[in-house]
Amino acid sequence: MKVRGSRRSERLRTRTIALVRKLKKALAEARRLGLFAEDRELLACRLCGLQEDVAIDGRLLVTVPGNRKCDTGLRFARVDKQGNWWRCPHCKSVVKGPRIT
C-alpha cells in the first residue's frame, strides 16, 4: 500500500515538474511577444503620471496622462530582485510595485 502511494506521488511530482517547465516556457514566450505575463499589479508613477495598462490583445502599454491609448515604448525597470520597487523610465522616480498575493 505504501509503495503504491509512493509511485503515485512520484508520478504526480514528475507531471507537476513537466507542467511547471511548460508554464515557464509559455511565460517566456509571452514576454518575448510583449504580452503582460507578470505576477504583479500594473505600475503607475505618481510623480509624472506614466502608467502601465494591458491592451485587449494582452500587449503591455505604458502611457502618458494625455494619451492612454498609445504605447510610449518605455518600460519600468525593476530596482530590486523581488520586484517590489521599480524605476520610472520617464522621471526616474522609484515606484512601489505591489505583488498579487
Q: Which residues contribute to the site for Zn ion (CB under 5 A)?
A: 45, 47-48, 50, 88, 90-91
Cβ–Cβ under 8 Å, residues 100 and 42: no
Give me the least distance between CB of 101 and Zn ion, in Å please.
Answer: 25
Q: Which lies closer to Zn ion via its Cβ, residue 34 or residue 89?
A: 89
Which SS3 state, helix, strand or coil, does residue 19 take?
Answer: helix
Give me the least distance between CB of 63 and Zn ion, in Å please.
Answer: 12
Which amino acid, 11?
R
CA distance 26 to 38: 12
Give me the least distance between CB of 43 and Zn ion, in Å please.
Answer: 10
Residue that the C-alpha cell 515557464 belongs to? 24
Q: Which lies closer to Zn ion via its Cβ, residue 35 or residue 79?
A: 79
